[in-house]
């Protein structure tokens, strides 16, 4: 007892603790699809992400995400994630994105758990790409072109590979050793042919699904508008724009994860399109939650060109934290820490 109150304990889950839980890709995709549907039904609450940019000479910045999902557990679950975005980390053998998440009981404010959210950050992004593709890409998509080899790239590719009858996966990144290592890692887990290529143009040529997940320091057009063929599904979500200004002009539908989130912050693949008025609430087709919850149709014809821009919603982090915490509690994983 402290100050007459009962002792409060919380569960700490390290990266290795979470790895040992053995959570599968299909479970992650299902959890993300469920919470995206809840968002479409108005059963979530979250604030726009904020950024903390320390005076570190441009080495990186922090994103702070806060969310609540009413449909999780008996009373819902609230959470806050802080994730660093430090592109040069590979020079030190570190992930470019390291994250920590705290989840709370929304009825009392009691912290329930603190966990390494690096895996959450990686897989929830790939799962959101996969959920978007499930509703917006052609079911017979055969060729995946993916630019970017770090962070969320592995989940993007493997989760898409699990949903579509892919015949070829093409990957590239700025450094030859990075893209070759990424391709080799993918070949260990998939029977789909994987080819590492030298340029974004070759990666995207005649691809059915085009994912731009680059880590640029300044805007550079890697995903050319002319590369988007009829029926293609396009996912640009790099921190810095890698697309041409007229990309949206050829799209039949533009879908985002959340329109308010699309307008917030200093970063994002379509930041300039929003700021310049090329992407507005009027020419936006839908938020993905509207489609997943059945409010609007997704892909309606094979020839539609559809773009999905997702910036990363905190409610995805909360949903996956709930999945992890529930599994951890069932096997008593992690370390219990005295809070007060």
Q: Which two tokens stand for residue 162?
A: 């699990």
211, containing H or E segment? strand 209-212
pLDDT for the residue numbered 69: 97
Tokens of 331: 């096997």
Dmax (CA) of the chain = 68
Segments in the chain below pLDDT 50: 1
Say if CB 257 and CB 284 are below 8 A apart: no
- Cα dihedral sign, 199-188-169-191: positive
Q: How many CB atoms lie within 10 A of CB 69?
A: 27
Predicted confidence at residue 261, as pLDDT, reads 84
Region of 312 please: left (phi>0), alpha (psi -120 to 50) or beta.
Answer: left
**DSSP-derived secondary structure letter, 240:** S
Rounded Cα gap, residues 300 and 282, in angstroms:
20
The answer to whether 37 touches 289, Cβ cutoff 8 Å, is yes
What is the distance between the alpha carbons of residues 291 and 297, in angstroms, rounded to a whole number?
A: 6
pLDDT for the residue numbered 52 = 92
pLDDT given at position 269: 75
pLDDT value for 265: 65
Q: Name which of 171, 158, 168, 163 is nearest 136 in CA terms.
A: 163
Residue with tokens 């015949």: 167
Cβ-proximal residues to 198 (8 Å cutoff; 6+ apart), any chain:
172, 176
Torsion of CA 201, 310, 291, 105, to 10 degrees: 150
Helices marked H in 196-340: 200-204, 259-262, 271-275, 288-292, 314-331
* Cross-strand bridge partners of residue 116: 100
Structural domains of the chain ordered from first start: 9-120+315-338 (3.30.1780.10), 129-312 (3.40.50.720)
pLDDT score, position 1: 47
∠ CA 135-228-33, rounded to 5°: 20
């Amino acid at each position: 007892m402290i100050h007459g109150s009962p002792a409060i304990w919380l569960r700490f889950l390290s990266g290795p603790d979470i790895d040992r839980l053995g959570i599968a890709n299909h479970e992650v995709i299902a959890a993300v699809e469920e919470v995206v549907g809840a968002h479409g039904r108005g059963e979530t609450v979250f604030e726009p992400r904020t950024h903390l940019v320390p005076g570190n000479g441009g080495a990186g910045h922090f994103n702070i995400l806060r969310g609540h999902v009413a449909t999780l557990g008996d009373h819902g679950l609230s959470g806050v994630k802080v994730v660093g975005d430090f592109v040069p980390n590979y020079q030190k053998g570190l992930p470019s994105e390291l994250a920590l998440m705290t989840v709370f009981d929304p009825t009392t404010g009691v912290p329930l758990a603190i966990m390494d959210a690096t895996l959450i950050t990686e897989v929830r992004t790939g799962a959101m790409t996969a959920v978007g593709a499930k509703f917006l890409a052609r079911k017979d998509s055969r060729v995946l072109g993916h630019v970017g080899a770090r962070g969320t790239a592995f989940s993007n590719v493997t989760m898409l590979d699990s949903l579509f009858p892919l015949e070829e996966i093409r990957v590239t990144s700025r450094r030859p050793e990075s893209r070759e290592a990424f391709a080799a890692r993918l070949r260990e887990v998939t029977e789909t042919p994987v080819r590492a290529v030298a340029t974004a143009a070759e990666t995207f040529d005649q691809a059915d699904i085009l994912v731009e997940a680059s880590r640029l320091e300044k805007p550079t057009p890697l995903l050319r508008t002319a590369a988007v063929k009829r029926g293609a599904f396009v996912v640009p979500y790099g921190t810095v724009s890698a697309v041409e200004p007229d990309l949206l002009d050829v799209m039949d539908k533009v879908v985002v994860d959340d329109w308010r989130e699309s307008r917030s912050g200093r970063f994002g693949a379509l930041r300039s399109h929003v700021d310049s008025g090329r992407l507005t609430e009027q020419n936006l087709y839908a938020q993905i939650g509207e489609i997943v919850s059945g409010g609007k149709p997704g892909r309606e014809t094979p020839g539609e060109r559809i773009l999905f821009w997702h910036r990363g919603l905190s409610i995805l982090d909360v949903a996956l934290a709930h999945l992890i915490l529930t599994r951890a509690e069932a096997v008593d994983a992690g370390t219990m820490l005295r809070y007060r």
